[in-house]
Amino acid sequence: MVTAQRINPSILSADFVNLQAELERIATADLVHVDVMDNHFVPNLTMGPPVVERIQAVSPIPLDVHLMIADADRWAPGYAELGAYSVTFHAEAAEDPVRLARRLREIGARAGIALKPGTDPDPYLELLPEFDQLLVMTVEPGFGGQSFMADMMPKLSRIAEAKARLGLDIWLQVDGGITADTIGIAAEAGADTFVAGSAVYGGVPEDRIAQLREAAARHAH
């Protein structure tokens, strides 16, 4: 069941050799955040369709795929076709974000768009009805374990205001440096979907997920 404050653990912080067991450890989370990196759009390489397909087959919770890859228009639909619940691509890597989002929805996935820290959200505010999720990166994408960028909160608030003004049900996700200490800051600014890697896998995942959910709920709008 997807809850009001969604906690999506990032398997970037999991033990890749024992991935199935690591997925079972986060069964109480809402979705599993799967970071796909191509060593072009970001300077890191993680996994591609064959691994994502296997995660899809064994995961106890739905997949929230985050594509940090170049040429998203070409590659993103394939991840929706694998059965991912949600597919998020980067605004900076898409030629036609609206057309791509519509294609993802057509296939049956939720369509998400992600913005790097330096990307101005304003051109995307009126396009929000085209998306099911908007991801505000709170670190520079590419590596886990970075510190939370609190200076992204005004950007998140602007997006949350546009969401309210347009009366939308879009999920507002934050990814990067989310811990029990920072999750409340993001929730205050309007986030409702939180990616956490080391904050979940750095302890007993079930306990950490509950703590994060509780901390987010205390600050939720």
Catalytic pick among 35, 38, 64, 132: 35
Structure tokens given for 140? 């520079």
For 80-100, letters b (16+ CB in 10 Å) and e give bebebbbbbbbbbbbeebeeb
Q: Say whether pLDDT at 33 is over 80.
A: yes
Mean pLDDT along residues 167-180: 97
Structure tokens given for 106? 């057509």
Establish if 208 belongs to a structural domain.
Answer: yes
Give catalytic status of residue 73 as yes or no.
no
Establish if 77 belongs to a structural domain.
Answer: yes
Provide the residue range defining the domain that includes 91.
6-219
Q: Say whether pLDDT at 213 is over 70.
A: yes
What is the count of structural domains for the chain?
1
What pLDDT digit, counting tens, does each position of 85-116 carry?
999 999 999 999 999 999 999 999 999 999 99
Establish if 13 belongs to a structural domain.
Answer: yes
Establish if 152 belongs to a structural domain.
Answer: yes
Res. 186 pLDDT band, cuts 50 70 90 = very high
Catalytic pick among 30, 38, 64, 175: 175
**Class of residue 67 by CB neighbours under 10 A (exposed 0-12, middle 13-18, buried 19+):** buried
Q: Say whether pLDDT at 1 is over 60.
A: no
Establish if 1 belongs to a structural domain.
Answer: no
Give catalytic status of residue 175 as yes or no.
yes
Q: Does the pTM of the predicted model rise above 0.95? A: yes
Mean pLDDT along residues 76-81: 98
Mean pLDDT along residues 154-165: 98
Mean pLDDT computed over every residue of the chain? 96
Q: Write the DSSP assignment of 14-33 as a string of letters.
A: S-GGGHHHHHHTTTTSS-EE
Mean pLDDT along residues 43-58: 96
Structure tokens given for 54? 């296997």
What's the CATH code of the domain at 195? 3.20.20.70
Q: Say whether pLDDT at 177 is over 70.
A: yes
